[in-house]
A = this chain, B = another copy of it.
Amino acid sequence: MHETLTIGELSRRTGCKVVTIRYYERLGLLPAPVRTEGGHRTYTRAQEERLRFICRGRSLGFSLAAVSNLLDLLEDRQAECGAIDELASSHLETVRAKIADLRQIEAQLEASLRTCGKTTRAQCAVAETLAAAGEPEQASHLAG
């Protein structure tokens, strides 16, 4: 069987939006597929697999650059498993750092919300938490 897929079918099968697929192609993450006479893209199973890999990497929080590295490593039959592991474990560290950041934020928000509702507007605990004049802090690793 192994028929080819339109970009819409590929999108449905992978959960990756059509515009995003085209975007990945423009970035060079996905190879330019064969086109119909009219110029529509047609994808193979191999390309579907590659896209799945990209999506999975993204859903694990890897940057597109990291995903690209991973794809290169996988394609290089000489490459050691070690290089892949390294990328993954350095990413794991980043993930853990983000969790730690977020937990601090969670705790502070919880604390100020807990003491609020009991005080007047002038001493709103949440407002105080935000206004608290602390020492300059380095920006956290948080993106948003």
Interface residues of A (CB under 8 A from B): 12-16, 49, 52-53, 55-61, 63, 70, 74, 79-81, 84-85, 88-89, 91-92, 95-96, 98-99, 102-103, 105-106, 108-110, 112-113, 116-117, 119-121, 124, 126-127, 129-140, 142-144
What's the minimum C-beta distance from A101 to chain B, rounded to whole angstroms?
A: 8
Contacts of A139 in B (CB 8 A): 58-59
- Name the prevailing secondary structure of the A interface residues: helix
B113 and A89 contacting across the interface, CB-CB below 8 Å = yes
Contacts of A53 in B (CB 8 A): 130-131
Select one of B91, B126, B137 contacting A15, CB under 8 A: B137
Contacts of A140 in B (CB 8 A): 59, 61
Give A136's nearest chain B residue, CB to CB: B15
What's the minimum C-beta distance from A132 to chain B, rounded to whole angstroms?
A: 6
Q: Give the docked Cα–Cα distance between A49 and B130 (Å).
A: 11
B81 and A116 contacting across the interface, CB-CB below 8 Å = yes
